Amino acid sequence: MIIEAAGSKPRCYALVPCAGVGARSGAAGPKQYEPVADRPMVAHTLEALGQVHRLAATLVVLAPDDDRFDTVMPGFEGERGWVARCGGSTRAETVAQGLVALRERGAQPHDWVLVHDAARCLIRAEWVDRLIDACMDDEVGGLLALPVADTLKAQGLDTRVAATVDRNGKWAAQTPQMFRLGLLAPALAHAGAGVTDESSAVEALGHEPRLVRGEWENFKLTWPGDFQLAERLLATRSKLT
Ligand SMILES: Nc1ccn([C@@H]2O[C@H](COP(=O)(O)OP(=O)(O)OP(=O)(O)O)[C@@H](O)[C@H]2O)c(=O)n1
Ligand SMILES: C[C@](O)(CO)[C@H](O)COP(=O)(O)O
């Protein structure tokens, strides 16, 4: 259990892992800088997070040799926008290093950290607010996720079906994932570099994070075709607003 310091209300910080290479995307460089609806993907992500008023600051964690962010996001760094060039070779390492950077910037163990993939650029402020509302008074924290809608197949040899897996009660994890800094840091240290999301690390310590309904549109741009889909969705949004 994280003890709250007397008189100090927990703050919420966003931590955006942005140090991947995008190997599955087919892009020539890191996919977070690929243009989507006329802007680099990460610009959409950070614009949405900037509209979440309960976030005290957003920390973007870049690869140590990143030379693109400052060009595509001039003026991002300031009171509510922080950058740390300490990304690792896996997402979990990037997030763990980002937590150290948050501590160096004054975040406390009882503060909440909302980890959100740079690659989920269709996130909306209202969905982040939904997660904060659901988790703020929770002991552990939680994540946006969606109940699995398709029938699930387990792969056997040569892409043949080995079994059909019961989809009942199964959810696909999205981000943001929201945990106290003082729980998430030791959870990631315990889980190691290969863990694919924050929730699994927290679960491995015996906790049961809260599942908060996400949105289909909050998908992660992973494969080449995802970029055209995101482009179409963003175009529809700008016509509506
Ligand atoms: N070493 C890494 C790997 C991933 N990420 C970030 O984690 C998010 C989700 O990861 P994923 O979609 O897997 O991104 P990539 O690792 O870039 O893609 P791929 O696995 O296809 O190489 C992305 O915002 C990505 O930049 C990161 O910060 N550091
Ligand atoms: C964190 C995540 O986006 C939740 O679905 C996902 O686990 C990231 O996985 P990846 O293999 O790094 O894309």
Helix (H, G, I), strand (E, B) or coil at 159: helix
Contact 20, 119 (CB under 8 A): yes
164 lines ligand 1 (CB under 6 A): no
Q: To test ligand 1's pocket by mutation, which of 21, 72, 83 has the most ligand atoms within 8 angstroms of CB?
A: 21
Full-model pTM? 0.96
Contact 116, 46 (CB under 8 A): no
pLDDT in tens, 226-241: 999 999 999 898 666 5
pLDDT attached to residue 5: 57
Span from the CA of 172 to the centroid of ligand 2 (angstroms):
10
Domain boundaries, the chain: 12-240
CATH class of 12-240: alpha beta
Q: Atom 1, ligand 2: which residue's CA is nearest?
A: 197
How far, in Å, CA of 141 to CA of 197, rounded?
Answer: 13
Span from the CA of 201 to the centroid of ligand 1 (angstroms):
17
Q: At residue 53, what is the residue type?
A: H
Span from the CA of 194 to the centroid of ligand 1 (angstroms):
12
**How many residues does the structure list for the chain?**
241
Ligand located closest to 45 CA:
1
| Average confidence score pLDDT of the chain | 95
User: Is a pLDDT exceeding 90 seen at residue 24?
Assistant: yes
How far, in Å, CA of 107 to CA of 198, rounded?
Answer: 18
CA-177 nearest atom, ligand 2: 1
pLDDT in tens, 144-172: 999 999 999 999 999 999 999 999 999 99
Residue partners of 5: CB distance under 8 A and separation at least 6: 108, 110
Query: What is the per-residue burial (b if ≥16 Cβ within 10 Å, else e) of 88-127?
Result: bebbbbbbbbbbebbeeeebbbbbbbbbbbbbbbbbebeb
User: Is a pLDDT exceeding 80 seen at residue 90?
Assistant: yes
Span from the CA of 236 to the centroid of ligand 2 (angstroms):
26
